[in-house]
């Protein structure tokens, strides 16, 4: 199968519709299962009590906020390397979803921090760098939309995202590099988890829910972007012919 043919927005459009259909229902399924595990099966934490359950939303949302920004930078690098219009579109489609997850991570973090630290917000290295990530998402979206020529806006936004992706490792390693209030990684690939297996399972299922949701909404959004691009091309051709 020639996968390169799908780099054409016109060819990718129906495929995006199919992907949306096959990921929407799994996202709902994983969300229901994840919430059931999180609030009914997972044990109560002996230190934090019931308040800790917000991590089942907070932690996967924080993971997604970083993963999506890295995915944006990746697609923009591909766009420059292969001169692929679809790659730049993919970055545009990812940005709003990444911004939403970043906002969710910050809000849920505030609700978690209030009973744990006694404050809704502290200028902690992890929290501050995550807040900067939200501003980076908003800046990217505003920058791309500020150009009448979508092609130019996407390329300027691409440079912006590739340069600013350096904030993602800063977020991840902030708890190691600085003395912060925020706890370390909830799940590590280098060592066995220190929390109950049911808690880890709940977070992983919620992560699957957020992953499949992201794929579904990004596919829906990229279809809209493709339609807007085709309309822009038709308008330009009409103007040229006129």
How far is 134 from 154, CA to CA, in rounded Å? Answer: 19
Helix (H) or strand (E) holding 197: helix 197-241
Query: Could you report the per-residue pLDDT of 23-58, keeping only the tens digit for each?
Result: 999 999 999 999 999 999 998 877 777 778 899 999
Q: What is the mean pLDDT of residues 180-197?
A: 57
Q: Is the pLDDT at 194 greater than 80, yes or no?
A: no
Q: Which CATH architecture has domain 17-241?
A: Up-down Bundle (1.20)
Query: Could you report the per-residue pLDDT of 111-151, keeping only the tens digit for each?
Result: 887 877 778 788 888 899 999 999 999 999 999 999 888 88
Q: What is the mean pLDDT of residues 79-89?
A: 93
Q: Is the pLDDT at 223 greater than 80, yes or no?
A: yes
Q: Please name which of 168, 189, 12, 187 lies closest in space to residue 93, comparing C-alpha atoms.
A: 12
What pLDDT sits at residue 189? 46
């Amino acid at each position: 199968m020639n996968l390169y043919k799908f780099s054409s927005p016109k060819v990718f459009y129906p495929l995006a519709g199919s992907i949306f259909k096959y990921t929407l229902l799994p996202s709902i399924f994983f969300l229901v299962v994840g919430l059931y595990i999180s609030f009914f099966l997972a044990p109560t934490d002996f230190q934090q009590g019931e308040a800790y359950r917000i991590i089942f939303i907070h932690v996967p949302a924080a993971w997604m906020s970083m993963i999506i920004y890295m995915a944006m930078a990746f697609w923009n690098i591909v766009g420059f390397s292969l001169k692929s219009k679809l790659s730049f579109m993919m970055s545009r489609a990812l940005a709003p979803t990444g911004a939403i997850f970043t906002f969710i991570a910050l809000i849920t973090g505030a609700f978690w921090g209030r009973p744990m630290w006694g404050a809704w917000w502290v200028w902690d290295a992890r929290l501050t760098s995550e807040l900067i990530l939200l501003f980076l998402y908003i800046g990217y979206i505003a920058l791309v939309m500020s150009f009448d020529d979508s092609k130019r806006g996407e390329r300027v936004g691409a440079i912006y995202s590739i340069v600013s992706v350096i904030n993602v490792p800063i977020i991840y390693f902030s708890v190691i590099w600085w003395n912060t209030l925020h706890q370390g990684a909830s799940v590590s690939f280098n060592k066995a988890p220190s929390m109950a297996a049911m808690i880890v399972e709940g977070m992983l299922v919620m992560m699957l829910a957020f992953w499949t949701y992201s794929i579904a909404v990004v596919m829906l959004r990229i279809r809209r972007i493709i339609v807007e691009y085709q309309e822009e091309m038709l308008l330009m051709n009409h103007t040229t012919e006129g």
